[in-house]
Structure formats: structure tokens, C-alpha cells
Amino acid sequence: MSKIDPRPKVPPVTSVADPRYWDPVDLQDELRRQFEVCHGCRMCVNYCGSFPDLFARVDRDIDRGAEGSERLDVSDFRSVTELCWQCKLCYIDCPYTPDQKHEWALDIPRLLGREKAQRAQREGITLQDKALGEPGQLGALGSGPLSPLTNFVSRHRLVRKVNEKVLGISEEFPIPPFASQPFEKWLAAHKPLEGAGSAGTVAIFATCLGDYNFPIIARDAVRVLEKNGFRVERPPQVCCGIPNLDGGDVEAAREKARTNVRSLMSAVEAGHKIVVPGPSCSYTIRKEYPELLGTKEAKLVAESTLDLMEFLDRLRKAKTLNKDFKSGLGKVAYHAACHLRAQKIGTPGARILGLLPDTEVDVVEKCSAVDGTWGMKAQHYEMGRKYAQKMVRGIEAVEAKTVVTDCPLSGQRIRHENKVDVVHPVTALARAYGLEDA
């Protein structure tokens, strides 16, 4: 075999609606091509477990006479894919991506997602991925009046051991609690603040965690938006589908995308922005829905969707953000979530909190190595902890009074490793406004 040309013969496929997406030969050729570029660069060797694994496999073959990645096979592809937790950092920093207008058109996260999807189609969705793929359904069942019981049972050491043995969910990962009152129920009884609606209306996509596990995030989002003159509505919605994508279950993710796009189009047609207080979910709606569905409606919903703190930062830029702050936060360690950075919007939460009096914000741009369901899996838990230590040390170094992150699952990692309280930036902002949670 000769050395692989790094230039694609045809544009790489990214849409699941394209028949080439499911062509195994096309996939294997593309994996070898993109891996050829990666092994020649090796900039991403410290980002995750995938790249050291890939480079070791290429070096193994070179020692046996290969030119580069041309001898890699399906077992190699599986191994590299399984160690990827889809943080997107390699794409953010790669100089050879479509975003950089480079002819090599590398997109390793999408390519490994495609490998996982083809494998899931061929072999079926694993029980582990099925168990982790429906947080919305699980949250709806476990929250509300049953939450004291479900929290007791789900945290019981014996139950955790059984879950790890049967489902492969790590008994050590700090699973999110179930809320006593889901966000949707709170919103139905909520009396808006005076002036809400004077600046317009926004639709909130609350996320599964914001609906059922950490509704304080969604509640504070509503209060902060109302403080800035916006009425908040919650269109009917289901899980964004990213847990299904993590497991390669493209059809389940597409069905959720269709459901959400149909519902959210009413807000788009009314001229309302869709705000999302969770970066993994906002990333999915903005970046994945157009590829999953390939419809005009999916693109319109994507274009109308903003991360919550990005929306507030736009108010800051327009000089319409309410700055009636009652207090500051002191020293703040702001963890920059990977899926926020992947949206190429910087750290809007840090910019907003930097406006508060007596507040100093230090940004920690290190990965939590959770990224959806990957960090919850028993086989990956220790590797995730290992890669999260840079984040842990970065937060420790700030010696902060307040620790914030936009990502609730990163917050779980930080609570567990750093032994500190963690809040969403909108909760920190609500406190600064003097808006009490109730």
C-alpha cells in the first residue's frame, strides 16, 4: 500500500440523510485518510484517550513496514472511537477543518460519531447506551412526588453496584438528583416579574437536566430574563437527543430532533429567539439538527437558537442589559464548558459576570471529561477522572469564592473532585440581582 493522500477525493459526508454516510467502505477510507493527517501532526495527543491510542496503533504498523495509517482496520477504528468523549476540542484547535477553509476538511468528532453510528446499526444499540439514552423519560419518572424515594434508591450503594454490574453505569460517578418539582410545573404556577414582556418574548429549551434534575437553573433563567424585560414561554419539548448520538442511535436522535423542531418552529415563526441554559443541548440543536434532518425548518430553528448566556451577552453589547446589581461575587472560577467553546462564542457567562461589582472572574479552559454519557460509563470513569485533573487543579489554583459552569454534568464532576459548591452563571447572576429562588 502507498502513503495515503490527505486530500479527500470527494467532500467528506456529514449528513445522515446522505446514503454515503452509511457506506462502510467510504467510512473506512475516510477514517484512514483523516487519521493519516492526525498522525503526521499529533497536536492533539494530550486532549483525550483517542489520540494516544490512534498514534500507538499507527506506530505499531509503521514498525511492521507500513507508510502510515493505511493498515488500520475495524478493530482499530472501534478502539479509537470508544475513547472519544466528543468534547470537540480537537476540532476547535485543528488547523485543517472546514471552518478553517482547509482543503483536507478534517472533522474527527463527526467522523468518530459516524463510526459509532454504523457500528450501532450493524450490531445494535448496547444495553448500556439504551439505559443512558433517555434522561428525559427517566427524569419525568423520577422527579416530582416520588423524588425522595427515587433519590434514596438511585444513591443506595447496593443499587449503584447492581447498575454498574448490569448496565455498566459507574457506581462512583455522582449521578444528578431528581427534583421535587419539575421546572414545567413551577413555570405553570409562576407569577412573572413586573415588566416581563416589555422587551419581547423568548422561548426556553430547558434541557432534561434543567427540567428534572437542576430546575433552579431554568427557574433562574426565567427570573433573569424577566428582570431584563422578557416574557418566557416553554414550548413542548423532549430530550435534545445527544445521549442517543453518544450511543450511535441516530434514529432515536432524529425522532427527537423532528419532535423538537416541529414544536420550536412556532417560536421561530413568531420571531422569538430560543434560549438554552445547557451547552451540550444548544450545540446539538444548532450544529447537529441541520445534519440529522437536513430540512429548512431544522436550519431555521438552529439559526434562532442561542445559548442562554450568549443571549444575555447580546443584550450587554446592545447596552440593554439590566445592570441593577445588588451585590458582587468576589473571586470567581469560571469553568468554560467544551460544548460552549465548540459553538465559537467564547465565554459569554464570564463576560456577564465580569460586569458585577466586586467581582473578579478567572476562566478555566480545561475539559471535565464527562461530555454527556461517556464519563458515566464504568469502563471510562477512571480515564475521565485522569483527564479532568487539569480542570480540577485549574479551579483549585483560582482559590475562588464562587465556582460556576454552564454545564451541569461538569458541575457534578467539579463537586465530586473539588469538594465545592458549583452554580450555573445564570444562578450567580440571579443572586447578584437579588432575585430569590422560590
Check whether 59 has a pLDDT greater than 90. Answer: yes
Q: Report yes or no on 404 lying in a domain.
A: yes
Q: Diameter of the chain by CA atoms?
A: 73
Q: Are residues 117 and 132 in the same domain?
A: no
Q: Report yes or no on 26 lying in a domain.
A: yes
Q: Report yes or no on 7 lying in a domain.
A: no
Q: What is the pLDDT of residue 371?
A: 81
At residue 2 the predicted structure's pLDDT band, cuts being 50, 70 and 90, is low
Q: What is the pLDDT of residues 368-408, one digit of tens each?
A: 999 889 999 999 999 999 999 999 999 999 999 999 999 99
Q: Report yes or no on 173 lying in a domain.
A: no
Q: Are residues 195 and 294 in the same domain?
A: yes
Query: What's the CATH number where 250 sits?
Result: 1.20.1050.140
Q: What is the pLDDT of residues 147-197, one digit of tens each?
A: 999 999 999 999 999 999 999 999 999 999 999 999 999 999 999 999 999
Task: Choose the final residue of a domain: 288, 315, 342.
Answer: 315
Question: Cα–Cα distance between 404 and 303 in angstroms, integer?
Answer: 27
Q: Are residues 330 and 227 in the same domain?
A: no
Q: What is the pLDDT of residue 438?
A: 55
Q: Report yes or no on 9 lying in a domain.
A: no
Q: Are residues 358 and 294 in the same domain?
A: no
Q: Are residues 132 and 74 in the same domain?
A: no
Q: Report yes or no on 231 lying in a domain.
A: yes
Q: What is the pLDDT of residue 3?
A: 80
Q: Are residues 344 and 416 in the same domain?
A: yes
Over residues 412-430, mean pLDDT = 97
Q: Report yes or no on 2 lying in a domain.
A: no
Percent of the residues in the chain that have a pLDDT greater than 70, as a whole number? 99
Q: Are residues 196 and 240 in the same domain?
A: yes
Give, in degrees to the nearest 5, the angle at Cα 94 between 91 and 96: 110
**Residue keyed to cell 431544522:** 298
Q: Are residues 245 and 279 in the same domain?
A: yes
Q: Which domain holds residue 147?
A: 127-167
Q: Are residues 344 and 404 in the same domain?
A: yes
Q: What is the CA radius of gyration of the chain?
A: 22
At residue 30 the predicted structure's pLDDT band, cuts being 50, 70 and 90, is very high
Q: Report yes or no on 286 lying in a domain.
A: yes
| Distance spanning both ends of the chain, measured CA to CA | 67
Check whether 314 has a pLDDT greater than 90. Answer: yes
Task: Tell me what the pLDDT averaged over the chain comes to.
Answer: 96
Q: What is the pLDDT of residue 134?
A: 96
Q: What is the pLDDT of residues 208-261, one digit of tens each?
A: 999 999 999 999 999 999 999 999 999 999 999 999 999 999 999 999 999 999
pTM of the complete model: 0.95
Q: What is the pLDDT of residue 372?
A: 82
Q: What total number of domains does the chain contain? A: 4
Q: Are residues 109 and 156 in the same domain?
A: no
User: Got the DSSP string for 272-329?
Assistant: -EEEES-HHHHHIIIIIHHHHH--HHHHHHHHHEEEHHHHHHHHHHTT-S--------
Give the full edge-to-edge strand order of the sheet including 330-335: 359-364, 330-335, 402-405
At residue 437 the predicted structure's pLDDT band, cuts being 50, 70 and 90, is low
Q: Are residues 192 and 302 in the same domain?
A: yes
Over residues 143-148, mean pLDDT = 96
Q: Are residues 285 and 226 in the same domain?
A: yes
